[in-house]
Structure 1
């Protein structure tokens, strides 16, 4: 499932001490059916390249995931089989993307993580509607980390599965 095990030396990898999945749902942009979504959440992270730490932060959701370590890949796809690597027209890259469980259409991260998507809660009531599954151990990924103040409250507010 990993895109490639040979990475360029200038690649930046994100390392997190723990992770989990936030499960929600969205309306398919193609067939308009409700379809499940899953976002990889980390409580904190460091982005490193061959020279050391280039960025760090607290709670975040991973977007445009181009690579996940083997253990995290097995966990994520075991709980969210509608996530699979695919190229998208909007981003022009191959990443772990949502696919509608009814028609199979790709639901790009641009739309899933937009203000109209499931991962833009307006308050704790909407945040509590997301289900949270704690991951197994740490995580290494090649991805973008999107941060917002609500992401630090995930384990406290979300319904744990």
Structure 2
């Protein structure tokens, strides 16, 4: 699987010497080396942060329902999800590597996530906007604009802090016993197969109950790829803007 890198023009020689390759369609450098060799490219992976999660195999959409705080009607709410991932952390000159294979068997855990609009691959963002009441709006609670769920009926913003930070959120796995089972049974878990590994700047939460999403939730594969011969969507298609070429 490829991992695309943000390599400045002046550093292309260095990246090439380390084994990076140029994709003329996407117009970006990438590595197709084994993930445990990603530390070679830490200069470009850890350029703006000291902690990176790289999604592999699948992205997820987690769909639940809650009563709107304003009108009281049931409304759908969604989060994103990481499954299996690669963790690169530390300083660019002393990077550390960790391959998280879901702690149990591959594919048995999903970790709830959310992100600002600009951090979501354009193809996935279009799907979310076409199928759910999600958009960027001004939050009086945090005093700034954020990408958030809105009520299907009245349009009121459904707070990100509650949905992604509170244990009684309908999307949260922070519950026990029958409460956990019933909450997870109320969720739909959509798994999107991805062709390339993806470095994503998402806020990801971790809980010891994250196995419950796939154990009790209603699981379904969601194919975003338009290639009839490959159900795994590529980086090129995920990041292709409407009417434009690759990112």
TM bucket, shorter chain? 0.7 to 0.9
User: Computing the radius of gyration over CA atoms, which structure comes out larger, 1 or 2?
Assistant: 2
Task: Confirm whether residue 151 of structure 1 aligns to residue 210 of structure 2.
Answer: yes
1:5 maps to what in 2? none
Q: Which has the higher helix share?
A: 2
Would the aligned equivalents of 2:66 and 2:74 in 1 still touch at CA under 8 Å?
yes
Cα deviation for residue 124 of structure 1 reads 2.1
Task: Confirm whether residue 141 of structure 1 aligns to residue 193 of structure 2.
Answer: no
Cα deviation for residue 65 of structure 1 reads 3.2
1:76 maps to what in 2? 128
Cα deviation for residue 70 of structure 1 reads 1.9
Partner Cα separation in structure 1 for residue 140 and residue 134 of structure 2: 17
Cα deviation for residue 61 of structure 1 reads 1.0
The residue correspondences of 1:103-114 to structure 2 (distance < 5 A) are 103-113=154-164, 114=166
Partner Cα separation in structure 1 for residue 201 and residue 145 of structure 2: 12
Cα deviation for residue 143 of structure 1 reads 2.3
Task: Confirm whether residue 34 of structure 1 aligns to residue 74 of structure 2.
Answer: yes
Normalising by structure 2, report the TM-score. Answer: 0.52
Would the aligned equivalents of 1:10 and 1:50 in 2 still touch at CA under 8 Å?
no
The count of corresponding residues between Structure 1 and Structure 2 is: 152
Partner Cα separation in structure 1 for residue 143 and residue 53 of structure 2: 21
Secondary structure of the equivalent of 2:182? helix
Give the alignment's Cα RMSD to 1 decimal. Answer: 3.0
2:184 maps to what in 1? 127
Would the aligned equivalents of 1:69 and 1:140 in 2 still touch at CA under 8 Å?
no
Listed one character per residue, the Cα deviations across residues 85-130 of structure 1 (whole Å, up to 9, x for unaligned) are 2232333454320001111111111122323321235322321221
Q: Which has the higher contact order (CA 8 A, sep 6+)?
A: 1
Instruction: For structure 2, list consecutive stretches of 5 or more residues without a partner in the other structure.
Output: 1-46, 103-109, 174-178, 221-247
Instruction: Return 13-22 or 85-94, whichever deviates more.
Output: 85-94
Of 147, 161, 169, 1:117 maps to 169
Cα deviation for residue 27 of structure 1 reads 1.4
1:10 maps to what in 2? 48
1:94/1:135 CA distance change after superposition, 3 Å: farther
